[in-house]
Structure 1
């Protein structure tokens, strides 16, 4: 990350909780279907660029630079809305995704990894049924 100050609105910057590297996770979600597309990382400047350009901009931890989603692949993310969670430590970026969101070529980054074995909960069974298992 760069050490230069960001042009991010100070009121927004005060609400953010960052990790030790100054980053916070940004979840990209398809605005009209609710499908979760990917998780990226942002710092204050990436968020500022996202809010002011209408294009999702992330910080690449592996390359150590900013990247605008789709600049090289053509698979752009056009921002529809951005929301900060209640703790200030994660963002939800609702986008209009053009093409696949994942660098592997899959529609979402959660297709390539596949499902994990998880017990499916049953809210109708109630706590008593859960305790007896």
Structure 2
């Protein structure tokens, strides 16, 4: 759970890991629960009720195929990486090909949306980029 906190910014106190509808305890091992490499774990997140949900409007600019608008319901503590995963699932652009811009600033994967002063309805621009091969 510490790794989830470090990578996604979700506090340990807000995390519950589930396997086969059972809550996993910190003091027991993966072997105890018979968790194998291909097992599916569910992360449930309970945020404090005082934090509100914001909606971010994402203006997608992919190649020269035209503009498309996609809306994502996210929270201020959502990481850019988490938003990129949502974009990948909804729009189909792989995370490694995404370049997100807000007010001319490139968004860094490990930062939270709130660190960029992103508010309800803020436009975030998605540019599709490719890594150059040697």
Instruction: Report the TM-score range of the alignment, normalised by the length of the smaller protein.
Output: 0.3 to 0.5
Higher relative contact order (CA 8 A, sep 6+): 2
**Given the two structures, how large is their TM-score scaled by the length of structure 1?**
0.33
